[in-house]
A and B are shown apart, each in its own frame.
Chain A
Amino acid sequence: MLLDKLDLEADEEVLRVVRKHWFIIVSELIGIAVFALTPIILLFIGIELPKLLGGIDVHAERYAAQITFIIAGWLLLSTMSAFVVWTHYYLDLWVITDRRIIAVEQLHFFNRNVAIFRLERLQDIEFSIKGLIQTFFNYGTISAQTAGHHESNFKSTGMPNPDELQATIQKAMDARLSELNNKPNLGKPLESAGE
């Protein structure tokens, strides 16, 4: 399981596990449902329309086995696509602990990106909610800048309640910084901590 593999530090507490907003997966699943139903609708039109327009019976029952086979195969592939979407949605997450943010990005199967950002190195955290749908469903993009040997940014789209998430991270950052100020050796490597 993921949390075992993340190898959390001793006494590290998971504050939140955040996935993308439900609207993201629902909109993708609606697209797949339309894709799945397309041959059934086309078949219905192909059989019923000649009957309605010219009273022509296409005798589709003669090809019942072939039609059933094709539709079952099509639905099987659609179901597999839906599970790809579900897998990417569920495995793509942020784990916010009291010490760091672990951003797991599941782009495709066999294309996975795991980034770890320590809270004391985070600088700006920004969020943006753009457009009618994002405003209505309250989701948006969160981006943060980290300071270190190499400055880097991270960004994640479709995050739910971005203002609340920003506040959670900010609070965790403040708590971590005050903890480090009180115990300055905490954040340093072992060899320098003893000096």
Chain B
Amino acid sequence: MDTAPVVALPDIAFLPALPGADIVTLLFYLILGFYAIFTGILYYHWNAYSSDKKVTFATYVAYLAITIPLIMVMIGSSSVI
């Protein structure tokens, strides 16, 4: 009777167990934090240095119109995981 070779796996018991859902949640909050800081910086620069109010407003609208749906998708998919 053939027996499969036994491979000793490295002992990783010292690593804290982190379920996939927790990793996704952690990642999501990291991205959200980065997004919030970035949005603040972007707002500051356009508010302080832009030469045209219409372009500034259009930039804010475009930025939020693209990024908020993506964040909603991330929230939706992370709640399923």
Interface residues of chain A, those whose CB is within 8 Å of chain B, are 1-3, 5, 17, 65-66, 68-69, 72-73, 75-77, 79-80, 83, 86-87, 90-91, 93, 95, 104, 106, 109-110, 112
B62 CB → nearest A CB, Å? 8
Determine whether the beta carbon of B51 is less than 8 Å from that of A1: yes
Determine whether the beta carbon of B66 is less than 8 Å from that of A90: no
Known A65-B77, A69-B77; judge A106-B59 contact (CB<8 A): no
Determine whether the beta carbon of B70 is less than 8 Å from that of A91: no
Measured CA separation A2–B32 after assembly (Å): 30
- Which residue in A3, A68, A87, A95 is a CB contact (below 8 Å) of B42? A87
Contact residues in A for B24 (Cβ distance below 8 Å): 66, 69
Known A79-B66, A79-B70, A86-B59; judge A91-B50 contact (CB<8 A): yes
Contact residues in B for A91 (Cβ distance below 8 Å): 45-46, 49-50
Output the nearest chain B residue to A14 by Cβ-Cβ distance: B51
Determine whether the beta carbon of B41 is less than 8 Å from that of A109: yes
B1 CB → nearest A CB, Å? 31
Determine whether the beta carbon of B74 is less than 8 Å from that of A69: yes
Measured CA separation A73–B78 after assembly (Å): 11
Q: Report the contact-size class of chain B (Cβ under 8 Å from the partner).
A: 20 to 34
Determine whether the beta carbon of B41 is less than 8 Å from that of A90: no
Measured CA separation A87–B73 after assembly (Å): 25
B32 CB → nearest A CB, Å? 10
Determine whether the beta carbon of A90 is less than 8 Å from that of B55: yes
Measured CA separation A77–B34 after assembly (Å): 10
Output the nearest chain B residue to A92 by Cβ-Cβ distance: B49
Contact residues in A for B41 (Cβ distance below 8 Å): 109-110
Chain B 34-75 near chain A by CB (<8 Å), digits 1 or 0? 010010011001101111110100010001001100110110
Contact residues in B for A75 (Cβ distance below 8 Å): 70
Determine whether the beta carbon of B77 is less than 8 Å from that of A72: yes
Output the nearest chain B residue to A71 by Cβ-Cβ distance: B73
B27 within 8 Å of A (CB atoms): yes
Determine whether the beta carbon of A76 is less than 8 Å from that of B50: no
Determine whether the beta carbon of B51 is less than 8 Å from that of A80: no
Determine whether the beta carbon of B51 is less than 8 Å from that of A2: yes
Measured CA separation A93–B31 after assembly (Å): 32
Determine whether the beta carbon of B51 is less than 8 Å from that of A109: no
Measured CA separation A110–B70 after assembly (Å): 27
Determine whether the beta carbon of B74 is less than 8 Å from that of A76: yes
B80 within 8 Å of A (CB atoms): yes
Contact residues in B for A65 (Cβ distance below 8 Å): 77-78, 80-81
